C-alpha cells in the first residue's frame, strides 16, 4: 500500500475514534435509561436515596470533572473527552428512575424524566455541536494588531478564543512539527466559547500521532517538569476571577480554560520562559506560575 494511503488512514483515525466513542456513549445512555426504568431496590426509601445520589453525582461530574485532563492519565485515547463522558449515562439512569421515584408526584414524573433525559442527550452532543453552534471567527482582527503571526518564536493567536490551538502550534514547532492553527482548532473541538482541556489533548494527540509522538499529561508540580523531561509543555492558567477569558468550569460540557500558554523552559535564575499566544514571549517568577497554573499541562513524548 502506498505511503500516502497510510498517511490518510492516520489522519482519519482520530475522527473515526471520536465517531465510535460518540456512538458507544449514545448507546450506553439509551441503555442506562432502560435500566433505570426497570431498577427497583429493596425498599422505596432506598430508591429515593439512590435517585438523589445519582442526581448529585451527575451534577458533580458535570461541573467539576467533565473534560478534565485527569481522565487522559487513565484513558490515553484521543477521544478521551467522550470515553470519560459518564454524565449522560448517569443522568439517563436517573431519568429512568424518575418514572417511579417515590418523592415525585405521579403527574410530575414524566416531566422530570423528560428534562433529565434532555440534559443527558445535551451532554452527548454538546462537545461536537459547540464548534458548529459557536464557530471561531477567523476574520476578526488579531490583538494586538501590530504583531505578526510569529513573534520571538511564539505563535500569536488569530482569535481571542483560540489561545489553546495557538499555544499547541508553538509546542509542536518546538518539536520540529509544523501545524496549522485552524486545523488544530478543529481537532481540539474549539469554539468561540473556548477549548475544553481534553479537547486540547485531542488536538495535540491527533497531530503528534502523525509524527510518532504522543501527547501526555504533565505533573501537577512544576518543579518536576525539568527532571521528568516534561518541557516544553502547554499549561492551562488563569489570571483571576475577572476579565474576558472563559471560566474554567461550567455546565453542559462548557468546561473551558481561562488561558493556555506554552512553557518553554526555565532560566538559571529560576524564572519560567512563557510563550503567551496573546502577547509573545514573557517570563514569570516561580511564584507567578504556581499562582496561575491550574494543575493541568500537556507535553509531547516519544511513542
Q: Taking the mean position of all CA atoms in its chain, how far away is CA 49?
A: 32
C-alpha cell at 120: 443527558
Percent of the chain with pLDDT strictly greater than 70: 84
Residues 237-264 pLDDT 10s: 998 644 433 334 444 444 444 899 999 9
Band of pLDDT at residue 152, cut at 50, 70 and 90: very high
Band of pLDDT at residue 12, cut at 50, 70 and 90: low
What is the pLDDT, as a whole number, of residue 43?
A: 66
C-alpha cell at 22: 460518540
Question: What would the mean pLDDT of 270-292 be, rounded to a whole number?
Answer: 96
- Work out the end-to-end distance of the chain between its first and last CA atoms, rounded to an integer number of angstroms: 23
Length of the chain: 303
Task: Please check the confidence at residue 51 and state whether its pLDDT lies above 80.
Answer: yes
What is the pLDDT, as a whole number, of residue 143?
A: 58
Residues 58-88 pLDDT 10s: 888 887 788 899 999 989 899 999 999 999 9
- CB-count exposure of residue 124 (10 Å: 0-12, 13-18, 19+): buried
Q: How many CB atoms lie within 10 A of CB 189?
A: 24
Question: What would the mean pLDDT of 184-191 be, rounded to a whole number?
Answer: 96
Name which residue leads in pLDDT, 94 or 251: 94
Residue linked to cell 500558554: 261
Task: Please check the confidence at residue 302 and state whether its pLDDT lies above 80.
Answer: yes
Planar angle of CA 299, 127, 62, nearest 5 degrees: 90
Residues 107-148 pLDDT 10s: 788 888 899 999 999 999 999 999 999 999 887 666 555 567
What is the pLDDT, as a whole number, of residue 100?
A: 76
C-alpha cell at 27: 448507546
What is the pLDDT, as a whole number, of residue 144?
A: 58
pTM of the model: 0.84
Task: Please check the confidence at residue 102 and state whether its pLDDT lies above 70.
Answer: no
Q: What are phi and psi of 76, to 5 degrees?
A: -85, 0
C-alpha cell at 115: 428534562
Give residue limits of the domains in the chain. 13-133, 150-302
What is the pLDDT, as a whole number, of residue 101?
A: 66
Of 1-5, 142-146, 211-215, the one with minimum mean pLDDT is 1-5
Contact between 143 and 278 under an 8 Å Cβ cutoff? The reply is: yes
> Taken in order 271, 277, 278, 279, is the CA torsion positive or negative?
positive
What is the pLDDT, as a whole number, of residue 107?
A: 77
Mean pLDDT of the chain: 86
The rounded distance, in Å, linking the Cα atoms of 33 and 28 is: 9
- The hierarchical CATH code for the domain 150-302 is 3.90.70.10
181 Cβ contact list (under 8 Å, min separation 6): 155, 157, 158, 162, 165, 166, 169
Q: How many CB atoms lie within 10 A of CB 152?
A: 10
* DSSP reduced 3-state for 113: helix
Planar angle of CA 232, 155, 131, nearest 5 degrees: 100
What is the pLDDT, as a whole number, of residue 303?
A: 81
Select from 141, 183, 171, 172 the least CA-distant residue to 159: 141
The rounded distance, in Å, linking the Cα atoms of 235 and 250 is: 19
Amino acid at each position: 500500500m502506498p505511503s500516502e494511503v497510510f498517511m490518510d488512514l492516520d489522519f482519519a483515525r482520530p475522527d473515526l475514534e471520536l465517531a465510535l466513542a460518540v456512538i458507544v456513549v449514545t448507546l450506553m445512555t439509551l441503555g442506562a435509561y432502560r435500566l433505570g426504568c426497570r431498577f427497583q431496590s429493596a425498599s422505596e426509601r432506598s430508591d429515593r436515596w439512590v435517585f438523589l445520589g445519582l442526581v448529585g453525582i451527575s451534577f458533580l461530574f458535570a461541573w467539576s470533572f467533565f473534560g478534565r485532563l485527569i481522565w487522559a492519565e487513565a484513558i490515553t485515547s484521543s477521544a478521551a473527552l467522550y470515553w470519560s463522558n459518564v454524565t449522560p449515562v448517569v443522568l439517563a439512569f436517573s431519568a429512568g428512575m424518575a418514572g417511579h421515584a417515590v418523592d415525585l408526584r405521579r403527574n410530575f414524573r414524566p416531566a422530570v424524566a423528560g428534562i433529565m433525559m434532555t440534559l443527558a442527550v445535551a451532554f452527548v452532543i454538546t462537545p461536537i455541536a459547540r464548534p458548529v453552534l459557536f464557530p471561531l471567527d477567523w476574520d476578526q482582527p488579531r490583538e494586538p494588531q501590530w504583531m505578526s503571526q510569529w513573534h520571538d518564536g511564539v505563535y500569536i493567536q488569530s482569535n481571542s478564543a483560540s489561545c489553546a490551538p495557538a499555544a499547541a502550534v508553538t509546542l509542536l514547532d518546538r518539536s520540529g512539527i509544523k501545524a496549522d492553527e485552524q486545523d488544530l482548532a478543529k481537532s481540539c473541538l474549539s469554539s468561540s466559547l473556548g477549548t475544553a482541556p481534553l479537547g486540547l489533548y485531542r488536538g495535540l494527540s491527533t497531530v503528534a500521532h502523525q509524527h510518532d509522538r504522543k501527547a501526555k499529561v504533565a505533573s501537577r508540580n512544576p518543579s518536576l517538569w525539568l527532571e521528568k523531561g516534561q518541557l516544553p509543555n502547554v499549561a492551562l492558567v488563569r489570571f483571576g476571577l475577572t476579565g474576558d477569558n472563559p471560566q474554567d468550569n461550567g455546565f453542559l460540557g462548557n468546561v473551558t480554560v481561562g488561558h493556555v500558554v506554552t512553557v518553554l523552559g526555565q532560566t538559571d535564575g529560576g524564572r519560567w520562559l512563557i510563550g503567551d499566544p496573546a502577547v509573545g514571549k514573557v517570563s514569570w517568577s516561580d511564584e507567578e506560575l504556581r499562582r496561575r497554573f491550574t494543575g493541568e499541562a500537556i507535553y509531547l513524548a516519544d511513542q
